[in-house]
Structure formats: C-alpha cells, structure tokens
C-alpha cells in the first residue's frame, strides 16, 4: 500500500528560504548559538550537506572574513582544485566583483607533468597558480595534496594567499593537510576533520559573495 505523502508546493527561492528556516529552528532546538559573523557560511554548509556537524568543525582564522571580503571587493582571482568546485560557484556573483577564476586540472602541461613526475595534478595546479601575479583565493574541496602544496609554497615564500578555503574530503592526509593550513599565518576557512567536498568549497565561496552583496537575507 502506498502511503500518501504531503508535499510542499514552493518555488526554488521559497525552498531555499524554507530550508534555512528549518536549519535555524534545529540549531535553536539543539541549543547551538553561532557566531553572527560566521553564521551565514556555517548555515550554508549545513544547507548544502544536511550535516549539522559543520556548526562545530568549520574553523576560521581570526581575520578570515575581513580579509576575504576585502579580497573579493578588490577583484582577487580564485583557483579551484576541481572543476566541480568551480561549477558550483555563482558566476553572476563572481562577475559582479570582476573575479577571474582558474582551474588547471585538465591542462595538457599539467597532465603531462603529472605523468612524468608522479605528482598529483592537483598539487601541480597550485604551482601553476603561484605563477600568476594576482591576489589569489585558493578553493580546495577534494585534494589534500593541493592543500599541502599551498602550505609548502607559503613556507617557501612563493605565495601569500588572500584566503585559503580548505575543505578536502577523505581519509588519506586529509586531516593533516587541514592542520598544516591552520598552522600557517594565512587567512583560512577550514573544515576540521575528514568531512568536506567540492560542493562545500563552492558553497563557502557563494556564502562569502552573498554576504557582501546582501541579496539574500540568510
């Protein structure tokens, strides 16, 4: 016997608004009080994943939001480790701030060098990004090797990130790569532990963009 289900008839924007209302209700029910400045980012991560653990594992350097907003408003560039992360970032919002985006994962020179050296393409992409003469926001949602290479390039004084979004997901070197970034003197937003993903990286970028143009009330 098929049980009758009650479905809400809502527009896409109404669905998003309703989802955030539910998130706020459940946070309140659990007695979780978010830092007001960080709340839009944390709630958007929860919205993307349906995982309330992001209320506890998302870590911000003391100056992360201030530095991120300044970099975005000045039109900093953005590089991702995956095409999935790049595809999830709101292109209209990026264009509004004149942000140039980069993803080198499928570039022939990156593929060839990875074959020759055994170094992951994601790590090599960070070397290529380091050659660009522009303030850079690094958005890492999949590859801990990319996050490790960012740390190494910073230690070698070859880059000075405007912001590192470090949310790779998985089991091998994931936790360690995030801890390295949090030890570096760089602005960061990091999902401590194993959780993350390209979708989470993209949603953090979107949250930062929406916070500045304030076109959504949550």
Annotated catalytic sites, by residue? Answer: 47
Q: What angle do CA 23, 95, 190 make, to 5 degrees?
A: 45
Contact 164, 186 (CB under 8 A): yes
Contact 187, 164 (CB under 8 A): yes
What SS3 state is found at 214? coil
Residue 191, H or E segment = strand 188-191
Q: Which residues pair with 137 in a beta bridge?
A: 78, 163
CA distance linking residue 89 with residue 91, whole number of Å: 6
């Amino acid at each position: 016997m098929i049980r009758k289900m009650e479905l809400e008839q809502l527009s896409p924007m109404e669905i998003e608004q309703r989802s955030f209302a539910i998130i706020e209700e459940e946070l309140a029910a659990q007695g979780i009080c978010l830092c007001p400045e960080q709340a839009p980012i944390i709630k958007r991560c929860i919205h993307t994943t349906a995982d309330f653990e992001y209320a506890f594992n998302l870590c911000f350097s003391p100056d992360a939001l201030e530095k991120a907003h300044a970099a975005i408003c000045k039109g900093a560039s953005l590089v991702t480790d995956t095409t999935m992360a790049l595809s999830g970032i709101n292109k209209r919002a990026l264009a509004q701030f004149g942000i140039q985006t980069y993803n080198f994962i499928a570039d022939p020179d990156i593929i060839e060098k990875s074959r020759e050296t055994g170094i992951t393409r994601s790590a090599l992409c960070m070397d290529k990004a380091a050659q660009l003469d522009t303030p850079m926001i690094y958005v890492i949602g999949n590859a801990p090797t990319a996050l490790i290479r960012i740390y190494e390039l910073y230690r070698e004084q070859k880059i000075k990130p405007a912001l590192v979004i470090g949310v790779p997901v998985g089991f091998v070197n994931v936790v360690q790569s995030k801890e390295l970034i949090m030890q570096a003197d760089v602005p960061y937003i990091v999902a401590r532990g194993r959780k993350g993903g390209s979708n989470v990286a993209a949603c953090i970028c979107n949250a930062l963009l929406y916070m500045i143009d304030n076109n959504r009330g949550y």
